[in-house]
Amino acid sequence: MSQSSEAKQLVDAVISDFPDHAAGTRPVHTIGVGVKGTFVASDVARNYCIAKHFQGEPVTATVRFSNGSGSPVQHDGWSDVRGMATRFHLGDQEATDLIAMTLGEFFSADVAAFLAFTKAAQPGPVERQSPWQKIWDMLQLKPPLPGPMPGQSNDLGAAGMLKYANRHAAAQLAVFQAGMIGAPVSYARASYHAVHSFVVIDAFGVRRHVRFSWQPVAGVRTTDPAIPPRDDYLRQELEQRLERWPARFMLMMTIGEAGDAFDDPTRPWPDKRIRVVMGTLTLQRLAPDQTADCEQLSFNPCRLTAGIEVSNDPILRARRDAYEVSRQMRGGSGCPFSGGSANGR
């Protein structure tokens, strides 16, 4: 299969999980908000990576926070994965992206498994367990399935995902974590994980496999699941928060060791790995032009700069072309890969 047909297949597969997906919008993480800020590397960051944004000079950044769903209908309060796509503007039209989400791992380790997963995750009808089924579950010491959210019109693929995970151990962790991820009280109060490993290169040419995470200085907090969810609060909350005070995130870089799952995004690395504070992102205000600075922007996890390279993670490599296909389908702004640039290869 050619790269472009595989990429198209991936995008189509993702879109098929959202029956009400609107053409011309992102296949997933459809609803989001753009924010402007500044990233300043820590004093030690340059010891690990020669990339421009890790040298200590302040770098302007554009961030797009998003809800995970590919539906155009906003449900901020539903339990869902959230995204934080960051563009570091390095000057002279150069930029690098870091795409992260609140889930700490991915559902599949390769493209074939991902296609099978998306097929399994097709949404089905909303099915509320009967009380008798719930009692039977409880008698088996099995927590009953959560009921649908107010206004939920399909099961969001939950039943299919669970069935898939029961047959594929590699998907279990992501499905389990996604099932209890909740909704953040604020986009600025969630941790975001880039999930894939990258290779960073230092001034001596030493190459290290690493993974990046954003940790909110304001702390992590989710909404109370016992309170009925609100559909529209995250953007307003962020705007009001930034009017009062900037929101900050620390960029943490975990260094992998030989034997770690460098190329498998379904396996988080042990917490015992060395982690380095690479810098602080300070978010100051919502982007004034949400269309140009948010919706039109096309992020790509493989838009990298000298000093950072992709690992052999097959999902990461597949995302490179899939994001480009997605950009073309929705008419997003230019991507460095459309002209065949070697960046990110």
Q: Which residues contact 90 (CB under 8 A, 6 or more apart)?
A: 52, 53, 59, 96, 305
Beta-carbon neighbour count of residue 312 at 10 Å? 12
User: In Å, how far from its chain's centre is CA 184?
Assistant: 14
Nearer to another protein, 58 or 270 (CB): 270
Nearer to another protein, 141 or 342 (CB): 141
Alpha-helix residue ranges (DSSP H) falling in the chain:
3-16, 45-48, 111-120, 131-139, 158-167, 169-179, 234-244, 290, 314-330
Q: How far is the CB of 198 from another protein (least distance, A)?
A: 18
Nearer to another protein, 52 or 273 (CB): 273
Q: Which residues contact 119 (CB under 8 A, 6 or more apart)?
A: 13
Q: How far is the CB of 23 from another protein (least distance, A)?
A: 25
Q: Which stretches of the chain bind another protein, using CB under 8 A?
A: 126, 128, 131, 134-135, 137-145, 147-148, 150-153, 162, 165-173, 175-177, 255, 257-260, 268, 270-275
Nearer to another protein, 93 or 140 (CB): 140
Q: How far is the CB of 185 from another protein (least distance, A)?
A: 23
Q: How far is the CB of 152 from another protein (least distance, A)?
A: 6
As a whole number of angstroms, the distance between CA 137 and CA 155 comes to 19
Q: How far is the CB of 252 from another protein (least distance, A)?
A: 11
Q: Are strands 94-101 and 308-310 parallel, antiparallel or unpaired?
A: unpaired
Q: What share of the chain is helix, strand, coil (3-state, %, to 5)?
A: 30, 25, 50
Nearer to another protein, 23 or 169 (CB): 169
Nearer to another protein, 152 or 284 (CB): 152
Residue that has been written with the tokens 């997906």 in this structure: 21
Q: How far is the CB of 87 from another protein (least distance, A)?
A: 30
